[in-house]
Amino acid sequence: MKLTTSRTLQTIVLAMMVIGLIALALGGYLAPVSRYLLSPVIAGQTWLSVRFTAIQNFLSSPQDITSLRQRNTSLENEVSRLQTEIISLKQQIDQTRILSALVGFARTNPEYRYESASVIGRDPSPFVQYVIINRGSDIGLRRGMPVVTEQGLVGRIAAVTAGAARVQLITDPGSSINVRIDPARTQAVLQGDITANVSLSMIPQSAAVQTGDLVMTSGLGGNYPPDILIGQITGVRSQDIDLFKSASVQPVVDFSQIDIVLVITNFQPVDTKPLIPTPGTP
Amino acid sequence: MATFIAIPILGILLILQSAVVSRFPLLRGTAEPVLLVVIAWALQKRVQTAWQWGIIGGLFVGIASALPIWATLLIYAMAVVVALAIRQRVWQAPILAMFIATFIVTIFANGIAILSLRLSGIALPLLQSLNLITLPSVILNVILAIPAFYLIADLAKWLYPEELEV
């Protein structure tokens, strides 16, 4: 009986302690106590967790580096491939732009038939201004045919083989072209020189020629068709003692950059040499 | 063999000169790899085919250029003559011989080109030609003379190996 009473008392005391602790906890009175009790546990857990994570990373990182390197190499290859593709596409865009401009030129000058050709080289000698194109007599190109770009006159074919042709540029020292200056409609002669520039000579002193005037082929002499743009006058030189004026000309074609040209195939140059009287002939 | 190998070598160099080198002028002057290789070949001690290389080079350049073919043949013949003459006199310092030959031949070559154009009716101003073309060409050719000489020296050693005394 006494034992039963004692146990009941213990149970009641325990229950009251538990209820008291719960009440203290709910009232927030146990927080400082729990902080003191839990702080070494948290510190220990943190210490262990940091070491475990470090060991885990150490054990698993080599595999990650290998896979990252593989991925990096793969991406670098992809970047290289895409860069190559971009360069190729840019080249295609440039070529398309040139061809489109050439088609535009051909449409605005429908009286001529054209063959396009790529510039594949320049004359090995620096004393002459010639370019080599990749089309020749196989497609009907002949000596003397004029060569143009969408901007204006380039020159004319000086020599032809089956698959290539040599084009004398208008900047060649041996080039001489009859031209017309607009709007004055004055005739003159355009000549190339050793500096790869062009200049006008034989301009009559009375002609009202000024900077900015356009220079076009006149068609005289039969070597070039008329009205093909050549350039613009950048300066006029005139002296009272001279019979003629001269002028410097800025060509519209950038001869250092020509890649694709058009050959006018239905223009046949006229050989006027037999018509020029020579001394001693009746 | 040494003559036949000139055809692909000089052919490739001509393509290089026409398509690439001529796009990089100094003022208006350009380097002439074909001419340099012919000079370098003629300067090699054991080489006996200098004239063949000169003729092949002259023909190739004459075909590709607007200059008269007789002019390019004359230029390359002159290059061989000058190189052979210098080889006998400056035999102890071959690279010096290469420099001297390059300098002389480039000036001769430009002179012949100007003369040939004058005979064709194109009179070039001499002083302007000298300033804009000849002197820049000399500089470029002298710069390229060193690699040209050593490459051709290796080729000559391969084609004409030295005889070993036993």
Domain count, chain B: 1
Residue A219 within a domain? yes
Interface test with B, best of A119, A120, A122, A201 (most B CBs within 10 A): A122
CB-CB under 8 Å, A159 with B124: no
Contact B100, B111 (CB under 8 A): no
Q: What is the per-residue pLDDT for A7?
A: 82
Residue A87 within a domain? no
Q: How far is B25 from chain A (nearest CA, A)?
A: 9
Residue A35 has pLDDT above 90, yes or no: no
In chain A, residues with a C-beta closer than 8 Å to the C-beta of B29 are 126
Q: pLDDT by residue (tens digit) across A231-269?
A: 999 999 988 888 899 999 999 999 988 888 999 998 888
Per-residue burial over B102-137, b = 16 or more CB atoms within 10 Å of its CB, e = otherwise: bbbbbebbbbbbbebbeeeebebeeeebbebbbbbb
Q: What is the per-residue pLDDT for A8?
A: 87
Mean pLDDT throughout A135-145?
91
CB-CB under 8 Å, A128 with B66: yes
Q: Scan residues 144-163 of B and list those with Cβ closer than 8 Å to A.
A: none
Interface test with B, best of A125, A134, A254 (most B CBs within 10 A): A125
Residue A170 within a domain? yes
Which of A153, A181, A180, A178 lies closest to A168, judged by CA? Answer: A153
CB-CB under 8 Å, A128 with B18: no
Share of chain A above pLDDT 90, in %: 41
In chain B, residues with a C-beta closer than 8 Å to the C-beta of A256 are 23
The per-residue pLDDT of chain A, averaged, comes to 86
- A199, A131, A142, B75: CA torsion to nearest 10: 100
Binned at pLDDT 50, 70 and 90, residue A282 comes out as low
Range name among A32-41, A72-81, B17-26, B108-117 with the lowest pLDDT average: A32-41
Residue A36 has pLDDT above 80, yes or no: no
Q: pLDDT by residue (tens digit) across B12-55?
A: 999 999 888 988 899 999 999 999 999 999 999 888 899 999 99
CB-CB under 8 Å, B124 with A127: yes
A199 versus A51: which is more confidently predicted? A199
**How far out from the chain centre does Cα B132 lie?**
20
Q: How far is A279 from chain B (nearest CA, A)?
A: 19
Q: pLDDT by residue (tens digit) across A212-226?
A: 999 999 998 888 999
Q: Work out the burial of residue B37: count CB atoms within 10 Å of its CB; fewer than 13 is exposed, 13-18 middle, 19 or more buried.
A: buried
CB-CB under 8 Å, B121 with A128: no
Residue B164 has pLDDT above 80, yes or no: no
Residue B165 within a domain? no
* Parent domain of A265: 114-270
Share of chain A above pLDDT 70, in %: 96
Q: How far is B38 from chain A (nearest CA, A)?
A: 15
Domain count, chain A: 1
A122, A127, A158 ranked by CB distance to B133: nearest: A127
In A, minimum Cα distance to B136 occurs at A126
- CATH number, domain of B137, equals 1.10.1760
Q: How far is B73 from chain A (nearest CA, A)?
A: 13
CB-CB under 8 Å, A194 with B129: yes
pTM score, whole prediction: 0.77
In B, minimum Cα distance to A128 occurs at B66
Binned at pLDDT 50, 70 and 90, residue A2 comes out as low
Task: Return the top range by mean pLDDT from A27-31, A99-103, A115-119.
Answer: A115-119
Residue A253 within a domain? yes
Residue A154 within a domain? yes
Paired sense of beta strands A260-264 and A244-251, if any = unpaired
Beta strand residue intervals within A86-228, DSSP E: 114-122, 130-133, 146-148, 153-160, 165-169, 176-182, 186-192, 198-204, 214-217
- CATH number, domain of A230, equals 2.40.10.350
Binned at pLDDT 50, 70 and 90, residue A273 comes out as confident
Q: What is the per-residue pLDDT for A243?
A: 87
Q: pLDDT by residue (tens digit) across B102-139?
A: 999 999 999 999 999 999 999 999 999 999 999 999 99
* Parent domain of B125: 6-159
Binned at pLDDT 50, 70 and 90, residue B166 comes out as low
Residue B30 within a domain? yes
Residue A270 has pLDDT above 90, yes or no: no
Residue A44 within a domain? no
Mean pLDDT throughout A25-40?
77
SS3 annotation, B62-97: HHHCCCCHHHHHHHHHHHHHHHHHHHHHCCCCHHHH
Range name among A36-40, A228-232, B77-81 with the lowest pLDDT average: A36-40
Q: What is the per-residue pLDDT for B3?
A: 87
Residues of chain A that touch chain B, judged by Cβ-Cβ distance less than 8 Å: 120-128, 130, 132, 158-159, 166, 168, 172-174, 194-196, 256
Binned at pLDDT 50, 70 and 90, residue A3 comes out as low
Residue A33 has pLDDT above 80, yes or no: no
Q: What is the per-residue pLDDT for B133?
A: 94
Residue B140 within a domain? yes
Residue A32 within a domain? no
Answer whether B19 touches A (CB < 8 Å): yes
Interface test with B, best of A118, A120, A127 (most B CBs within 10 A): A127
CB-CB under 8 Å, B132 with A195: yes
**ipTM at complex level:** 0.91
In chain B, residues with a C-beta closer than 8 Å to the C-beta of A159 are 66
Q: What is the per-residue pLDDT for A62?
A: 65
Q: pLDDT by residue (tens digit) across A175-190?
A: 999 999 988 889 999 9
CB-CB under 8 Å, A125 with B65: yes
B14, B29, B133 ranked by CB distance to A124: nearest: B14
